[in-house]
Structure 1
Amino acid sequence: MESESGVGVHRVPWNKGKFTGQKPPLKLREIWAIRTRLQMASKVRELAMFNLAIDSKLRACDLTRLQVQDVRHGSRVASRATVVQQKTQRPVQFEITEQTRDSPEAWIEARGLKSADYLFPSRLHASPHLSTRQSARMVHRWVASIGLDDTAYDTQTMRRTRASLIYRRTKNLRAVQLLLGHTKLESRVRYLGIEVDDALEMAERTEV
């Protein structure tokens, strides 16, 4: 393409200098490294969000829209929660581990949040809750804080992490499908980085 002066105009590709394609999940030691740094820095909100992102395996758009009543029943954060996914309009259930329950509980108490409040309210008047862009910035900060290249990770990393750890232990694709709320095999293997042919073979072994 040339400008009116005849000088060529070179457009910079949108993905120059960026990693594209599937984002890797976090390793167990990386999870603990980030968690420890957030605890030491007393980042109560970010620790709650990090732990829930790992446990829930929710998309960023669903994680940021969580309300207190979604995870807390009565005076304590529940061991399980169910939310309707914004993308599929299908419910998905997830476990909230004992360690994770402590961090959102501390955040709710520190902020004085009520049952109908968003769990992660925005500090900006334009939005009642954190945006997916704000959550993405947090992910980049988290991974950069432990020396990882933050351009290789994003919110998809958080969604994939626990599912990938479970798959490595069990090789059970059906379990991962339920955990991620996927309806198609292709969706499962895309998040796990498995070849489709291998996935079909594994699925045949795990299906009852």
Structure 2
Amino acid sequence: MNKSTPAIREPWNKGKLVGQKTPLRLKDIWAIRVRLQLAEKIRDLALFELAIDSKLRACDLISLRVRDVAHGDHVSSRAVVMQRKTKRPVQFEITEQTRNALETWIIRAKLRNDDYLFPSRLSRLDHLSTRQYARIVKNWVTSIGLDPSSYGTHTLRRTKASLIYRRTKNLRAVQLLLGHTKIESTVRYLGIEVDDALEMAEQTEV
């Protein structure tokens, strides 16, 4: 009696780019920002600006309530959020550009203090899902001609952290901003060992 050959299962990541997602460059940030402004996508602009500033994980970003960043219509210059993953608080700055975008969105959407900052369009009682947020990010990067397989929600989390590290080389500061408990996590997250080695190699002529 012949035994049937077991079906060969393809790996879940076949044909997909896995690993860390690429942070945006300054020109990419401005390209997305301008497109959202021109299209008058008020919610998306507020979401994009806050994602860059806050450096929060997707699950923490989408579950923010108005009271986490604002008092009434007035958005604060700093905020503190309890991270879902680590159960530790993390503080972040909210730049003037982001404050303006958020204030416009809060007023336009008529959001109250206890409302989710980015409510789902399917139900005002719930916030954007991580899947919806990922889809929005994909649309952003695709709109400026970037390969969506190389970018994701973690792109927004990594972007400002990577820029800060590049300018300051201050790992401890970036660790605090990302809310990492161990500095080794920050090193791995930024991929700085590989990047710095490549940068030094590029600057070395032989």
TM-score, structure 2 length as denominator?
0.89
Match in the other structure for 1:104: 102
- How far the C-alpha of 1:53 sits from its partner, in A, is 0.2
Match in the other structure for 2:158: 160
The superposition leaves residues 162-198 of structure 1 with CA deviations (integer Å, 9 ceiling, x where unpaired) of 00000000000010011001111221012211239x8
State which of 5, 12, 15 in structure 2 corresponds to 1:14: 12
8 Å contact 1:120–1:130 — kept in the other structure?
A: yes
SS of the equivalent of 2:106 reads helix
Amino acid in the other structure paired with 1:181: G
For the pair 1:171 / 2:169, whether they are aligned, the reply is yes
Match in the other structure for 1:95: 93
d(CA) in 1 for partners of 2:102, 2:124: 24
d(CA) in 1 for partners of 2:159, 2:48: 11
SS of the equivalent of 2:135 reads helix
The superposition leaves residues 126-158 of structure 1 with CA deviations (integer Å, 9 ceiling, x where unpaired) of 961111111111111111111010011111111
- How far the C-alpha of 1:47 sits from its partner, in A, is 0.7
RMSD: 1.9
Count of residue correspondences: 194
- How far the C-alpha of 1:11 sits from its partner, in A, is 2.8
State which of 10, 24, 27 in structure 2 corresponds to 1:26: 24
Amino acid in the other structure paired with 1:62: D
State which of 125, 132, 135 in structure 2 corresponds to 1:134: 132
Match in the other structure for 2:201: none
State which of 35, 38, 41 in structure 2 corresponds to 1:40: 38
